[in-house]
Amino acid sequence: MNELLHFAKQSLDSQPFSRFLGAEIEHIDGTDVAIRLPLREELKQQHGFAHGGVLSYLADNALTFAGGMALGPAVLTAEFKINYVRPAVGTALVARAGVIYAGRSQAVCRCDVFARDAESEKLVATAQGTISKVESLKRE
């Protein structure tokens, strides 16, 4: 396992909420990152689809990892926007994110979230946001 993947896995695992939901780094290569989340019952809303908040969690997190590839590990999501496009059904969700533009202290990133089953992947949400480098760990 390469170093970046190892580091990203450790970083994700250090988030209690990501462990609680069961998210995993599926891929990271310095340009793109993919975070996978097996879609179990607890992550759904009342109609059997993944809860929108699960999708927004995944998008937020994948955007942050994407920004971190450009800005270094001390980053946080300053803001993002998400459009939901389809109900999310399947066995897992996958959020794929990358950097659109990176300056010294901020990066603008995009993320597509897919619902995957044995046969296919379908886009279920798309997001765009700003990742900020932080000096310390405190948001200002």
Interacting residue with its own copies among 8, 60, 97, 114 (CB under 8 A): 60
The CA distance from 67 to 38, in Å, is 24
| Phi, psi values for residue 8, rounded to 5° | -65, -40
Residue 87 neighbours by CB distance under 10 Å: 14
Report the nearest approach of its own copies to the CB of residue 18 (Å): 7
Interacting residue with its own copies among 1, 3, 14, 120 (CB under 8 A): 14
The CA distance from 11 to 35, in Å, is 12
Q: Check binding of 86 to its own copies (CB under 8 A).
A: yes
Q: Check binding of 56 to its own copies (CB under 8 A).
A: yes
Residue 82 host element (H or E): strand 75-84
Site for its own copies in 90-129 (CB under 8 A): 100-101, 103-106, 108, 110, 112, 123, 126-128
Report the nearest approach of its own copies to the CB of residue 29 (Å): 22
Q: Are 115 and 45 in contact (CB under 8 A)?
A: no
Q: Check binding of 1 to its own copies (CB under 8 A).
A: no
